[in-house]
Amino acid sequence: MGYGEYIRVQNMEELKYQVDLLNAMNQKLSKEEKMLRLICETSNSAFLYYNYEEDRVQTIANWDHFFDFAITDMHDLSRLYECVEEKYVIPLEEILFIERQGLKSQTIDVKLRDRRICIEVEVNVVYDALGSATDKIIRFKDVTKINSQNDELTYLAYYDILTGLYNRNYFVRLLGEYLRRAEEENETVAVMFLDFDDFRRINDGMGIIAGDELVQLFGQYLSDLIGDNIIISHFNSDIFCIGVYGPCGARSVETIYKTISERLKKPFKLSNGQEIFITVTVGVAEYPEAASKTLELINCAEIVMFKAKSTGKDKVLYYNGTILDDFLKNVKIENKLKDAVFQQNFTMYYQPQFRTNDKALRGVEALIRWKDDNGKMISPAVFIPIAEKSGAIVPIGTWVIEESLRAFAEWKRKYHYPMVMSLNVSAIQYRQPDFIDKVLNLMDKYDVSPSEIELEITESILIDDFTEITEKLVLLRDIGVKISLDDFGTGYSSLSYLKGLPIDTLKIDKSFIDTVITDENTRIITESIIYMVKKLGYETIAEGVETEEQFRYLNEIDCDNIQGYFLGKPMPSEKIENLLADMTA
Ligand code: C2E
Ligand code: CA
Ligand code: CA
């Protein structure tokens, strides 16, 4: 082989070697490329590669998933701006060309227009040793699911789903911030605690779904009132809370309440076409007057709201110190009352009633007394209303009737004195389906006849359940039980409406007797009441007669009976026996 030949062969071998090497490298490269492509394609992302030197663009992997156009030139990138929601256009442009700011890497989230896809755009630029950009890789990744999950979680953390208003927790946080700011700026913060009236009846009547829709419509209406320094929350069910920083002017509680009341003059229209009117009751408490802590402030407003409901609905009531004191006292009493029912810490007192003309004993009114564990007497005027609210009045009331009839039977057996036992009965008791049976059974048990019993009712009982209760009264009266109208003069007291009532006796309230001597007008009213009542055929009793002067005057104007400290305070059974002994001596 000559040199030339040798060189040629050498070159051939070299060439072959080179080709083999290239083949090997190619094979390796295609394996790597395949691997890289697989990685890209399964990544749920699309890539755009740009080589600066060659000014070459290439899109890789799932490009079609995001965009329906190809990019062959860097100028085509502007087509991306048309795909994203408007607010992302400028940030996107900035990130696509981060090399202009000399940056290496950056990421943003953008939302695609029309389709609700959210993509993460990540841009990486590679620089050479001299700081010139050589390659750029842009990655588009679908993060719709992750973002919507995050959004939902964020939403649930702050908002109430039904109304879109703040939820309770977030409201409490924001209100806490109001309070901190108010302390610094020496401002006030008002909380309005708002509750639908009779929501249970609406819910029962129309179903929970309609009830929810109503709450939703009202919540949507309230959201119109949100503004600078006004936050509104839906706590739950039919309860809403409004927080006002520095209430005054258009932001005053009065104005807000008035605005809401005006709206409620119109009905809410449900999707089934039904139109519903509602009223609301609002309790208001202000920082720092009512409380200095967030939760306490909300609590105060809630207590005020309850107080407002107990004195009639559809109104706004403002915090004052006594409301809270009363509430705390009531809570304590309610707890003790529960025990008292079981431990029977009650006693009966009886207050004598006398005929005015001859001071003969007409009967007694049974008045309950409660000695609490510490031996303190608690007035029935305080605990009866609480017992009525909690339902404890039912067992207590039954006990009152039984104990009184037991004592009455004892007096009858010992003294044979004809008299009447007056019993106070609350509306809750009358409402019990077995009330009449209970009374009849006890009368039977103690051998007391109907005409020896008088049940006292107040006008307020009749206002709430007129038909139901009058029906029962008529039944009782047919049997021969007397019915007496208590506290006359404190309620409606319309004489014309008296005519329709099944009553035998009318008790003129102490407030009349208190001023009957000193006030000419009271005298005129009292005299005409007695005149009218006698014409209607009822017996009269004046309550709270404390002085001889009152007694003499009442005798003069022909009031049939008197009851009061002047002739006898409420007393235990033994003292009544002394009285009976005198009467029968
Ligand atoms: P009421 O039915 O109007 O009873 C009359 C109240 O006036 C009694 O108060 C009596 O002690 C008081 N009183 C009577 N004469 C005078 C007087 O001359 N001067 C003054 N200052 N007060 C006088 P009490 O015993 O504290 O009862 C308060 C209220 O509690 C009663 O008012 C009645 O509504 C209710 N109550 C009492 N016992 C019962 C009961 O067993 N059941 C029910 N449901 N309520 C009861
Ligand atoms: Ca009474
Ligand atoms: Ca009374």
Q: Whose CA is nearest to atom 46 of ligand 1?
A: 424
**Of 228, 226, 276, nearest in space to 256 by CA:** 226
pTM of structure: 0.59
| Residue at a domain's end among 254, 284, 319 | 319
H/E/C letters for each residue in 117-130? CEEEEEEEEEECCC
Same domain, 126 and 269: no
What CA–CA distance (Å, rounded) separates 28 from 17?
Answer: 16
Percent of the chain at pLDDT exceeding 90: 56
* pLDDT the model gives residue 423: 98
The whole-chain average pLDDT of the chain stands at: 89
Answer yes or no: is 228 within a domain: yes
Helix (H) or strand (E) run with residue 241 in it = strand 239-245
Domain match, 296 and 445 both: no
Identify whether 439 is part of a domain.
yes
CATH, residue 90: 3.30.450.20
| Ligand 1 geometric centre to CA of 422 (Å) | 12
Beta strands in 435-570 (DSSP E): 453-458, 482-488, 505-508, 539-543, 561-563
Q: Which residue has the higher pLDDT, 250 or 28?
A: 250
At which of 118, 147, 176 does a domain end?
A: 147
Q: Please give the Cα distance from 399 to 50 (Å, whole number).
A: 94
Crossing angle of helices 573-584 and 393-415, rounded to 10°: 30
Mean pLDDT value across residues 165-185: 93
Band the pLDDT of 175: cuts 50, 70, 90: very high
- The stretch 579-585 carries a mean pLDDT of 92
Output the residue whose Cα is nearest ligand 1's atom 10: 570
Q: Are residues 297 and 357 in the same domain?
A: no
Ligand 1 pocket test, candidate residues 370, 379, 424, 549, most atoms within 8 A of CB: 424
Asked whether residue 337 is domain-assigned, the answer is no
Structural domain contains residue 334: no
In a domain, 202, yes or no: yes
**d(CA 290, ligand 2 centre) in Å:** 37
Give distance in angstroms: CA of 365 to centre of ligand 2.
Answer: 7
pLDDT for residue 243: 98
Ligand 1: nearest atom to the Cα of 566: 18
Report the nearest atom of ligand 1 relative to the CA of 388: 44
The model's pLDDT over 506-535, given as tens digits with 9 standing for 90+, comes to: 999 998 999 999 998 888 888 988 988 888
> Which DSSP helix (H) or strand (E) runs through 321?
helix 321-343
DSSP state of 379: -
Residues contacting ligand 1 via CB (< 6 Å): 351, 366-368, 379-381, 384, 397, 400, 424-426, 486-487, 544-546, 563-565, 570
Which two three-digit tokens encode residue 10? 């050498």
Is 177 exposed, middle or buried (CB count within 10 Å of its CB: 0-12, 13-18, 19+)? middle
Query: Is residue 330 a part of any domain in this protein?
Result: no
Residue 336 counted as domain residue: no
- Give the Cα separation of 314 and 195 in Å (integer): 10
Please report which helix (H) or strand (E) contains residue 442, including its range: helix 435-445
Per-residue tokens: 363: 């009967």
| Closest ligand 1 atom, residue 349 Cα | 25
> Cβ neighbours of residue 242 under 8 Å, at least 6 residues apart?
191, 192, 194, 222, 225, 230, 231, 232, 233, 256
The CATH number of the domain holding residue 199 is: 3.30.70.270
CB neighbours of 366 closer than 8 A, spacing ≥ 6?
A: 348, 349, 350, 400, 404, 421, 422, 423, 424
Residue 8: band (very low, low, confident or very high) from pLDDT cuts 50, 70, 90: low
Give 359-371 pLDDT, tens digit per residue: 999 999 999 999 8
Counting from 1 in the atom list of ligand 1, the atom nearest the Cα of 507 is 3
249 and 109 housed in the same domain: no
Residues 247, 389: one domain? no
Q: How far apart are CA 577 and CA 454, in angstroms?
A: 20
Report pLDDT for 337: 85
Q: How far, in Å, from the CA of 134 to the mean position of ligand 3? A: 100
382 and 497 belong to one structural domain: yes
CA of 541 to the centre of ligand 3 (A): 10
What radius of gyration do the chain's Cα atoms show?
43
507 - beta bridge partners? Answer: 541
Nearest CA to ligand 1 atom 29: 381
Note residues around ion ligand 2 (Cβ under 5 angstroms): 424, 456, 486
Same-domain pairing of 420 and 556? yes
**Residues ≥6 apart with Cβ < 8 Å to 71:** 48, 57, 59, 77, 79
Question: What is d(CA 95, CA 105) in angstroms, rounded to the nearest whole number?
Answer: 9
Domain residues for 490? 344-584
Over residues 90-127, the pLDDT tens digits come to 889 999 999 998 899 999 999 888 667 889 999 999 99
What's at 57, amino acid-wise?
V
* Residue ID of nearest Cα to ligand 1 atom 12: 544
Q: Strand pairing partners for 364?
A: 352, 421
- pLDDT by residue (tens digit) across 45-59? 889 999 999 999 998
Whether residue 512 sits in one domain with residue 458: yes
Query: What pLDDT score was predicted for residue 19?
Result: 66
Ligand 1 atom 4 nearest Cα:
367
pLDDT of 9: 62
Parallel/antiparallel/unpaired status of strands 346-355 and 482-488: unpaired
Residues 101 and 192 in one domain: no
Shared-domain flag, residues 282 and 381: no
Q: What's the structural domain count of the chain?
A: 4
For ligand 3, the distance from its centroid to the CA atom of residue 549, given in whole angstroms, is 20
What is the pLDDT, as a whole number, of residue 300? 92
Closest C-alpha residue for ligand 1 atom 28: 381
Same structural domain, 221 and 73: no
Query: Which residue minimizes the CA distance to atom 25 of ligand 1?
Result: 367
Per-residue pLDDT tens digits for 128-153: 988 999 999 999 998 887 777 777 66
- Angstrom CA distances, 413 to 338, 352, 407, 568, stand at 35, 19, 10, 23
Q: Which ligand is nearest to the CA of 484?
A: 2
Is residue 381 located within the same domain as residue 510?
yes
Domain assignment present for residue 332? The answer is no
Domain of residue 450, CATH code = 3.20.20.450
